Structures are given as C-alpha cells and as structure tokens.
Amino acid sequence: MDPDLLLTDIALDAAVGALARRNHHHFDAMSDTERSQAVDTWRELATDVLVAVRSTLASETPEAPPATATGGRAVLVFEDAGEEDVAVHAAFHPELEEIGPEEVAGTPAQLVALSLLEQLNGEPPEE
C-alpha cells in the first residue's frame, strides 16, 4: 500500500467518521456550533495520527532500526481549509522535549520544522 493514501480526503473522512461514531452519544447532544468544532478537532487528531502512521510506514522496514535509534523526524501537512485558508498539522517522532518555558529540544530535522512553523506564524527566527 502507498503510505500517502493515508493522507487523502477519503482516509481522513473515514477517520473523522469513526471518531464521530465512537462519540455519537456526545455528538448527538451538541449544538451545530459545537458539532462543527468537534469535527474540526477530530480532523486535527485524525491528521496527526495518520501522519505518524504514514511516516512510520514510509520510513521503516522490518530490518531497519526504530526511528528513535536513527534520529527523529518531523512531518508537516498543509491542507486547504476554505478558499484562502490553510490548516497546518505537525507531527514529531520522537516527541519534542520541553526543557524550559517556551523552549524545546529535538533532533535537527525537528528543529528545522519547528523553525518553519514559527516563521509561518510570523515569529522572528531565533539566533
């Protein structure tokens, strides 16, 4: 299977649908606004999970050591969110390590991705 198929709309919609079915008792009691927010949250969760699975399937073979032994990775997904908006999802493996207030440690690839995300948010790059 092509791991990129995990990030298609049909795969993401299936994951969101599974979360909606799993949480239907809460979903059914929500207002329209709450339902919309829940679907947005579930889509973000599904994207994070599927990005991690895709990254693992695309990079590891049974003979390869786990990612933590060979370094880390960061996966950024840019998704259209309306006419002009873009949703950005990030997944880091292994997880970034908090080392202080607003300070994290990670692998070189993770820190580059984090720097890109900060630039997208309009934050000045750290020196």
The pLDDT of residue 88 is 84
The pLDDT of residue 122 is 79
The pLDDT of residue 62 is 47
Could you tell me if 27 and 38 are in contact, meaning their C-beta atoms sit under 8 angstroms apart?
Answer: yes
Domain for residue 126, yes or no?
Answer: no
Q: Indicate the pTM of the whole model.
A: 0.56
Domain for residue 47, yes or no?
Answer: yes
Could you tell me if 3 and 57 are in contact, meaning their C-beta atoms sit under 8 angstroms apart?
Answer: yes
- Identify which of 115, 116, 109, 117 has the alpha carbon closest to the alpha carbon of residue 127: 115
How many domains are there within the chain? 1
- Show the tokens assigned to 46: 């599904």
Domain for residue 65, yes or no?
Answer: yes
Collapsed DSSP state (helix, strand, coil) of residue 7? helix
Domain for residue 127, yes or no?
Answer: no
Helix intervals (H) in the chain: 9-22, 24-27, 32-59, 67-70, 108-120
Name residues of the chain where pLDDT drops below 50. 62-64, 67-68
The pLDDT of residue 125 is 57
The range of the structural domain enclosing residue 39 comes to 3-120
Could you tell me if 72 and 107 are in contact, meaning their C-beta atoms sit under 8 angstroms apart?
Answer: yes
Domain for residue 73, yes or no?
Answer: yes
The pLDDT of residue 33 is 93
